[in-house]
Amino acid sequence: MDKLVELDRGPNPVDRHVGLRIRMRRKELGISQERLAEAVGLTFQQIQKYERAANRVSASKLWELSQALRTNIAYFYEGLLEMGAEHLPRESMQDFLLTPEGLELAATFPRIESARLRRKVLELVRALVEEPESVEA
């Protein structure tokens, strides 16, 4: 019975975070799921499952992924300490970052050199969210 309850809650927030960090690093390096899978001896479907947190990443596989993605193990856990694992959202921000738009925004936004311009973009996004009727293109 306990296992059924656990299944209904979805992936563990820490697993979701690690999967998101795998995907973000892979995209940052311009590596396909197929290429990463080949580098660590898996199928690309398994990489997809790791990135979506459908499957947990073992410690040994996380080590191999860190080597293939040219980073350290701590990279995959960055941001957890600040939020506290129990407070990580199961959806929302992480789900957004798993979309092509979210990933592109996360990668592109920091490249805006002007702090003033970054604030203006943020103000625009806030205004669009607060707008009762959004404009569809």
pLDDT at 103: 78
CATH 1.10.260.40 residue ranges in the chain? 2-88
Q: Are 117 and 111 in contact (CB under 8 A)?
A: no
- Distance from C-alpha of 94 to C-alpha of 52, rounded to nearest angstrom: 10
Give me 88's structure tokens. Answer: 């990580």
Give me 91's structure tokens. Answer: 């959806």
- Distance from C-alpha of 22 to C-alpha of 50, rounded to nearest angstrom: 8
- Residues 6 or more apart whose CB falls under 8 angstroms from that of 31 comprise 68, 69
- Distance from C-alpha of 119 to C-alpha of 82, rounded to nearest angstrom: 23
**pTM for the whole thing?**
0.62
Give backbone dihedrals phi and psi of 90, rounded to 5 degrees, phi first: -80, -20
More confident residue, 9 or 14: 14
Q: Which CATH superfamily is domain 2-88 in?
A: lambda repressor-like DNA-binding domains (1.10.260.40)
- Distance from C-alpha of 97 to C-alpha of 104, rounded to nearest angstrom: 8
pLDDT, one tens digit per residue, over 35-62 is 999 999 999 999 999 999 999 999 999 9
pLDDT, one tens digit per residue, over 68-126 is 999 999 999 988 766 554 555 555 566 677 778 887 887 788 888 998 998 898 888 88
To the nearest 10°, the Cα dihedral for 15, 43, 45, 59?
-10
